Amino acid sequence: MEYKGIAFTIAGSDSGGGAGIQADLKTFQAFDVFGVSAITSITAQNTTGVRSVQDVDPKIIADQIDMVMGDMGSGAAKTGMLSNKAIIKTVAKKIKEYKIDKLVVDPVMVAASGDRLLQEKAEKTLIEELLPLAYLLTPNIHEAEIIADMKIASIDGAKKASQKIYERGAQNILLKGGHLKQNKAVDLFYNGEKFEVLEKEKIDSTNTHGTGCTLSSAITASLAQGKDLFSAVLIAKEYITKAIVMAPHIGKGHGPLYHNVKPEPVSAFIKEAKDFDYWFDKNRNIFEAEFLAEKELFPGPENSVSIGVGSGLFASRLGIKKGVEPSENMAALARDRGIDVKIGRAEDIPYENESFKTVLLSTVLSYCIDPLKALRESYRILKKDGYILVSFLSREGSYSMLYDLARLEQKFDPDRSPEHPYPLKFIKGANWMSIENVKKMLTETKFTDLEFVQTLTRHPRYSNDEIEKPIPGYQKGDYIVIRARKK
């Protein structure tokens, strides 16, 4: 077995195990990345607070970095607690000496409570010495206010602060806006050219000790694996959400996260959004059939929303004007087609007070982490007597997709991964479900009056013993569209 990379954490030790070096190493392990470390401070703390701190001699810190980088090296590194000027200068010198370019800097200046964690006289040193070395800086609101020298009370304020921080040398900024007075946890990503607003539902939990350390180490782990920065940020946000939700309550105060959750891979659509229309065009025989089946059961565009709208190809042709999509790149394509898109997942639809007559889930369930939750969310936003349309590629239909992709490439090898169309492993990796699976989930969600349309003809070349029997009265098909009603 091999690790997927080596990640380096330069930070303080938390005797309570929820933050600092301990949280970083647990997170690296969850990502199947080998973790190495240099300890900068030793703290005596638990879930209720910090009793004492002992800084490590800068020479010992330098020796730790030398021993790690001189032998094992690292694909990415992060810094956490660097509590005084001498430590900051030492770490910055070593970062430059070993040319560590994928550096995530968690500034650890001010706690979520507003309490200062870095000596004020060292703040200038951190801003001048370390910040310009940061591939990504991950400040919370309080830290961003200090670095940008301004108050932040809104998203617009966060954007202005991010621009100021960028001008001070950080290549990219992830401003953690969890403490803005918003109904949602809103983080802001800025790369010097454009902003990405990343929204998540706020989680009501006291098990949040070490979230900043864990988030930055999750990003570092993905960078060590070779992932691009924005994908690393999205993966880390999914990971931190699950780690908070699944956390058991340990201790008498703010408990630690549950680090042993597996990070979810970013959808291939996020990286390859620009090629989606190309892929659609090359597979028009497949997707046109799906579109026609959806059109057959579609009640009409009035007061409709498409969940997982993608690039908006189907929704725009059906006349749908609203959509939800987790990928900002795909959402941009849909917006170009005239669709008002909100960023969100099918399991957490970002409509709280608005309801719809029709909800379209176009091939969404095959890619959901929790398809049943996605159906319940759709049920929630539907009006009484409203309709849900679920289109999906059945398990037997996935073999048809493999056949058609291979045929287009003139090579019938299901393990081959051509650049265009999408890699076959992308198709194989989806959670293809049987018709019975989807029917059961719809019924469990209390949808009624199920109607079906099936399309295409199954290609026997890629089949196995799990051939599904068609619904009585329907022909064998690959794409299935089911319409159901909320009574």
Residues noted as catalytic? 176, 208, 210-213
**Token pair listed for 297:** 């059961």
Closest listed residue to residue 277, CA positions, set 326, 243, 311: 311
Instruction: Kindly report the three-state secondary structure assignment for every residue of the chain.
Output: CCCCCEEEEEEEEECCCCCHHHHHHHHHHHCCCEEEEEEEEEEEEECCEEEEEEECCHHHHHHHHHHHHHHCCCCEEEECCCCCHHHHHHHHHHHHHCCCCCEEECCCCECCCCCECCCHHHHHHHHHHHHHHCCEECCEHHHHHHHHCCCCCCHHHHHHHHHHHHHCCCCCEEEEECCCCCCEEEEEEECCCCEEEEEEECCCCCCCECHHHHHHHHHHHHHHCCCCHHHHHHHHHHHHHHHHHCCCCCCCCCCECCCCCCCCCCCHHHHCHHHHHHHHHHCHHHHHHHHHHHHHHCCCCCCEEEECCCCCHHHHHHCCCEEEECCHHHHHHHHHCCCEEEECCCCCCCCCCCCEEEEEEECCCCCCCCHHHHHHHHHHHEEEEEEEEEEEEEHHHHHHHHHHHHHHCCCCCCCCCCCCCCCHHHHHCCCCECHHHHHHHHHHCCCEEEEEEECCCCCHHHCCCCCCCCCCCCCCCCEEEEEEECC
List Cα–Cα distances, 171 to 68, 81, 163, in angstroms: 25, 20, 11
How many Å apart are CA 111 and CA 223, to the nearest integer?
25
Closest listed residue to residue 76, CA positions, set 20, 34, 41, 125: 34
How many Å apart are CA 80 and CA 92, to the nearest integer?
13
How many Å apart are CA 223 and CA 58, to the nearest integer?
27
